[in-house]
Amino acid sequence: MLPANSPFPCHWWGISLASAGLGNLRPDRGTYGRYEFGRLPALPFPLSGDFAWLATAPAQRHNIRKKYGAEIPNALKFLRDSSKQLGVPLPEPFTKFLETPALQERISSATDCYLDLCPELIRSPLGGGWLVHFLADSQGCMFWYLYLTADGSDHAVVSAPDFYSTPVEWSEGAEDEEWEEEEPDPAAIAFCAESFEAFLCRFWLENEIVFADCRKAPMPEACRQYIEAYRRQQ
């Protein structure tokens, strides 16, 4: 989905890249900051749905699959059933990634995000389409969703500080009644990627940049290209 076609405002909620020399564009604003979507650099890989850019990356001991990865196959089965019943197809790159543990294990998160797949399509409060929760921040600061148009002909990734999911997951995820009773704010949903693969690619790149700085270790060449593309905008 092109940003111009999004029913949501366009923002990138992400981690700071100040340690990579991008303090002007990506200053530290806490766990996540809201950054200008239009100033994000182009991704340094062609995206064709096969995740070739990720397949050669090393597996990570601490990865986004580790917490609930074992539950994904069962959740995906129910999600496929929900998709079929509603006549809303799921994007092939989305299902390919969720069916491939080896790809999931190649992505780490500096904020300890984890895969957590909703087993049903949820009607989006805006845009007339559907939401599928697939990624969560470890402290519940941010959640990421696949957004599908009403007929499933196009998709994007959106983020929100609120949790949109099934009633069962609401009750299981609530730590107390006060949290459970909070009303989500649909206006806070933000378009953050043109496709599922584009989101994962940018998420992977930015976390690899942060980890390389923390570990004082070499970063992938694509990360250097990404940083340089950003620096040219300063």
Question: Total structural domains in the chain?
Answer: 1
Per-residue pLDDT at 51: 97
Per-residue pLDDT at 177: 45
Residue 200 lies in a domain: yes
- In one-letter notation, the amino acid at residue 6 is S
Residue 48 lies in a domain: no
Show the domain range for 96.
3-42+62-231
Residue 57 lies in a domain: no
Residue 23 lies in a domain: yes
First to last CA, the chain: 27
Question: At which residue do the structure tokens 């780490």 appear?
Answer: 108
Residue 50 lies in a domain: no
Residue 53 lies in a domain: no
**Is the alpha carbon torsion for 193, 195, 196, 201 positive or negative?**
negative
Q: Is 53 exposed, middle or buried (0-12, 13-18, 19+ CB in 10 A)?
A: buried
With a cut of 50, list the residues of the chain below it in pLDDT.
170-171, 173-179
Per-residue pLDDT at 169: 58
Residue 74 lies in a domain: yes
Per-residue pLDDT at 179: 44
Per-residue pLDDT at 180: 52
Q: Does the pTM exceed 0.85? A: yes
Residue 221 lies in a domain: yes
